[in-house]
Amino acid sequence: MTNTITEPAIHANRRPIFQPSERKIMQNGLNSLTRACEAQEKLISVIKKELAASALRCEELIARNVQLEERHLLNVGEVE
């Protein structure tokens, strides 16, 4: 003998008590997307700052390289 439990018919078509409305679901989705966009904007800002710092460091290294090349040419000229 198998015991099967069936729910009463009264509960078949009732909405769950805590089910959010379509408006609430859409609002939550919009809020999530807004936060994601804000996080992306912050990340872009951080990357731009890092890129600017890297560009400055590159300019410093290029200037140092030119200085070393000039010194090398002077040293080579003295040896000859």
Q: Is 42 part of any domain?
A: yes
- Distance, in Å, from the CA atom of 15 to the CA atom of 13, rounded to the nearest integer, reads 7
Q: Is 17 part of any domain?
A: no
Q: Is 11 part of any domain?
A: no
Range of the domain at 74: 22-79
Q: Is 8 part of any domain?
A: no
pLDDT at site 12: 60
pLDDT at site 76: 86
Query: Domain total for the chain?
Result: 1
Q: Is 72 part of any domain?
A: yes
Q: Is 57 part of any domain?
A: yes
pLDDT at site 20: 84
pLDDT at site 77: 82
- Distance, in Å, from the CA atom of 72 to the CA atom of 60, rounded to the nearest integer, reads 18
pLDDT in tens, 9-64: 555 666 667 788 899 999 999 999 999 999 999 999 999 999 999 999 999 999 99
pTM for the structure as a whole: 0.57
